[in-house]
C-alpha cells in the first residue's frame, strides 16, 4: 500500500510575505496554517492602507510649512514609516489569556491609535476642504489687517490729533487773514468804480484809505505765510513720518499672515463655526479617518483566535521552557564546577603541606633557637614571626 502524503505546503509569494510582515506575523509558522493565511493578508492590507494614508497626511502637513519638495517627500516617508512601526508594534503586542482579551493593554493601545488617528485626520481634512479654507484664509487676513490698522490708529491717536490740531490752527489763521484781505480788496474796488459808500469814481480820499488798508492786509498775509510755512512743513513732515512708520509696521504684519498649518486650522475652525452643516461633515470625516487608523488594531482584536495563535503560543511556551531548562542546567554545571575546583584546590594544598613538612619543621626549629637567644624574647613575638614565615603566602 502507498503511504498517504500530507497536503503540500506551497511557498508564499513576495507580496504575501510582505503583507504578513506588515501584519507582524511569523511567516514560518503562518505558512503551515492553511486557514490563517488569508486572514493575515487582510490584516496586512489594512496596515498597508494606514501606512499610505499616514504618509499622504504627513506629506500634506509638511507641504504647508516647507517649500522644498524633496524635503517634504523625505519627511513624509520617515513619519509614515514611524506610524507603520507603531501599528506593527500595537498588533504584535496584542496578547490573549485563556481566549479572553486583556482589557487594560487593549484599552491603552486603542487610546494611542485614536490619538494618532485624530492628529493625522487634520491634514487630510485640510486637504479635502482646501478651496473653502483658502477663501476663508483671505477673509481672516483682511479681518486681522483691519484690526491691526485700528490698533495703530488708537496707538497714534493722541499724537496725530495734536499735530492735526496745530496744522488746522495755522490754516484757520491764514484763511481768516485771506478773508480779511478779500474784504479790504473788494471795498477798495467798489470805491474806485463808484459802487462804494462815497459813490465817487476814481482815486478819492476814501478809496486811498481803503487801498492803504488793503495793501497793509496783503503785507500782513504774506508775512504770516512766510512765518507759518516752516512750521507747517515741519508738522506735515511729522505726519508723513508717522504714516510711513505705520505703513512699515503694516507691511511687516502682513508678512506674518501666512497660509501655514495653524492658519489653515484657524480658518477651518471659523468655517465650522459659521456653517453648521460643514461642522457635521467635518466630524464625520474625522471619525472615518480615525477609524482607518485604528482599523489594523480592530482587525486583530475582532478576529477570533485561530490556528496561528495556538501554534505561536505553543512555540513561545516551548521556547520559554527551553530557555529555563538551559538556565537551570547552566546553574547546576556551574555549581558542580565550583565544587570540583574546591576539592582539587584542597588536594593540592594537602599535598603541598605534606611535601614541605620536614622543611617547615627545620625552619621552626631554627626560629625557636633564634628566639631563645634573644634578650627580649616574648612568646607573642615568636608566634607572629612563625605565622609570617610558614603561613604568610596563603594568609
pTM of the prediction?
0.53
On the question of pLDDT at 153 being above 60, the answer is: yes
SS3 224: helix
Helix, strand and coil content of the chain, in percent to the nearest 5, comes to 80, 0, 15
The residue written with cell numbers 452643516 in the block is 277
Q: For residue 61, give the C-alpha cell.
A: 502637513
Asked if 257 and 217 count as a contact pair (C-beta separation under 8 A), the reply is no
What count of residues does the chain have?
395
Average pLDDT over residues 371-393: 65
Q: For residue 304, give the C-alpha cell.
A: 477570533
Least trusted range by pLDDT, from 70-84, 102-116, 126-140, 244-258? 102-116
- Name which of 91, 83, 92, 131 is nearest 289 in CA terms: 83
On the question of pLDDT at 386 being above 80, the answer is: no
CA distance 109 to 90: 6
Q: For residue 40, give the C-alpha cell.
A: 493575515
User: Which pLDDT does position 50 carry in this prediction?
Assistant: 86
User: Which pLDDT does position 294 carry in this prediction?
Assistant: 79
Average pLDDT over residues 351-364: 76
User: Which pLDDT does position 395 carry in this prediction?
Assistant: 43
The residues, any chain, with a CB within 8 Å of residue 270's CB and separated by 6 or more, are: 136, 139, 140
Asked if 109 and 87 count as a contact pair (C-beta separation under 8 A), the reply is no
Asked if 265 and 124 count as a contact pair (C-beta separation under 8 A), the reply is no
Q: For residue 361, give the C-alpha cell.
A: 619543621
Average pLDDT over residues 321-330: 83
Report residue 305 CA to chain centroid gap: 39
Alpha helices in 259-356 (DSSP H): 261-274, 276-302, 307-355
> DSSP string spanning 105-141?
HHHHHHHHHHHHHHHHHHHHHHHHTHHHHHHHHHHHH
CA distance 215 to 336: 135
Predicted confidence (pLDDT) per residue in 8-49, tens digit: 556 677 888 888 888 888 777 777 777 777 788 888 888 898
Asked if 50 and 299 count as a contact pair (C-beta separation under 8 A), the reply is no
On the question of pLDDT at 105 being above 70, the answer is: no
Average pLDDT over residues 135-151: 86
> Cα dihedral sign for 129, 134, 136, 137?
positive
H/E run at residue 96: strand 96-97
pLDDT band at residue 4, thresholds of 50, 70 and 90?
A: very low
Provide the angle, in degrees to the nearest 10, between the axes of the packed helices 37-63 and 69-92. Answer: 150
Burial track 206-238 (b if 16+ CB lie within 10 A, e otherwise) = bbeebbebbeebbeebeebeeebeeeeeebeeb
User: Which pLDDT does position 74 carry in this prediction?
Assistant: 92
Q: What percent of the chain has pLDDT over 70?
A: 81
Predicted confidence (pLDDT) per residue in 249-259, tens digit: 888 888 888 77
Amino acid at each position: 500500500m502507498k503511504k498517504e502524503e500530507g497536503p503540500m505546503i506551497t511557498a508564499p509569494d513576495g507580496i504575501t510575505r510582505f503583507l504578513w510582515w506588515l501584519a507582524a506575523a511569523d511567516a514560518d509558522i503562518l505558512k503551515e496554517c492553511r486557514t490563517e493565511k488569508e486572514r493575515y493578508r487582510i490584516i496586512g492590507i489594512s496596515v498597508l492602507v494606514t501606512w499610505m494614508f499616514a504618509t499622504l497626511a504627513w506629506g500634506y502637513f509638511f507641504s504647508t510649512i516647507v517649500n522644498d519638495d524633496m524635503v517634504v517627500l523625505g519627511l513624509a516617508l520617515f513619519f509614515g514609516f514611524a506610524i507603520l512601526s507603531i501599528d506593527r508594534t500595537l498588533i504584535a503586542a496584542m496578547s490573549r489569556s485563556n481566549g479572553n482579551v486583556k482589557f487594560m493593554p487593549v484599552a491603552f493601545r486603542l487610546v494611542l491609535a485614536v490619538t494618532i488617528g485624530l492628529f493625522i485626520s487634520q491634514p487630510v481634512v485640510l486637504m479635502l476642504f482646501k478651496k473653502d479654507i483658502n477663501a476663508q484664509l483671505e477673509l481672516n487676513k483682511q479681518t486681522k489687517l483691519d484690526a491691526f490698522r485700528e490698533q495703530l490708529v488708537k496707538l497714534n491717536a493722541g499724537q496725530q490729533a495734536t499735530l492735526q490740531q496745530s496744522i488746522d490752527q495755522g490754516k484757520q489763521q491764514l484763511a481768516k487773514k485771506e478773508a480779511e484781505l478779500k474784504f479790504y480788496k473788494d471795498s477798495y474796488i467798489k470805491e474806485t468804480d463808484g459802487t462804494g459808500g462815497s459813490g465817487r469814481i476814481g482815486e478819492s480820499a476814501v478809496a486811498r484809505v481803503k487801498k492803504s488798508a488793503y495793501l497793509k492786509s496783503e503785507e500782513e498775509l504774506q508775512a504770516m505765510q512766510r512765518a507759518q510755512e516752516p512750521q507747517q512743513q515741519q508738522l506735515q513732515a511729522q505726519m508723513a513720518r508717522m504714516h510711513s512708520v505705520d505703513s512699515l509696521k503694516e507691511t511687516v504684519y502682513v508678512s506674518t499672515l501666512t497660509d501655514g498649518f495653524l492658519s489653515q486650522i484657524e480658518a477651518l475652525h471659523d468655517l465650522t463655526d459659521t456653517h453648521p452643516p460643514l461642522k457635521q461633515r467635518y466630524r464625520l470625516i474625522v471619525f472615518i479617518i480615525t477609524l482607518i487608523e485604528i482599523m489594523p488594531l480592530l482587525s486583530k482584536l475582532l478576529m477570533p483566535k485561530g490556528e496561528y495563535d495556538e501554534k505561536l503560543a505553543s512555540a513561545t511556551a516551548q521556547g520559554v521552557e527551553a530557555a529555563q531548562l538551559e538556565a537551570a542546567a547552566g546553574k547546576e554545571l556551574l555549581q558542580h564546577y565550583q565544587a570540583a575546583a574546591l576539592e582539587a584546590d584542597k588536594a593540592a594544598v594537602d599535598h603541598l603541606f605534606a611535601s614541605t613538612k620536614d622543611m617547615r619543621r627545620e625552619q621552626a626549629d631554627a626560629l625557636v633557637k633564634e628566639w631563645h637567644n634573644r634578650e627580649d624574647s616574648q612568646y607573642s613575638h615568636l608566634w607572629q614571626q612563625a605565622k609570617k614565615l610558614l603561613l604568610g603566602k596563603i594568609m
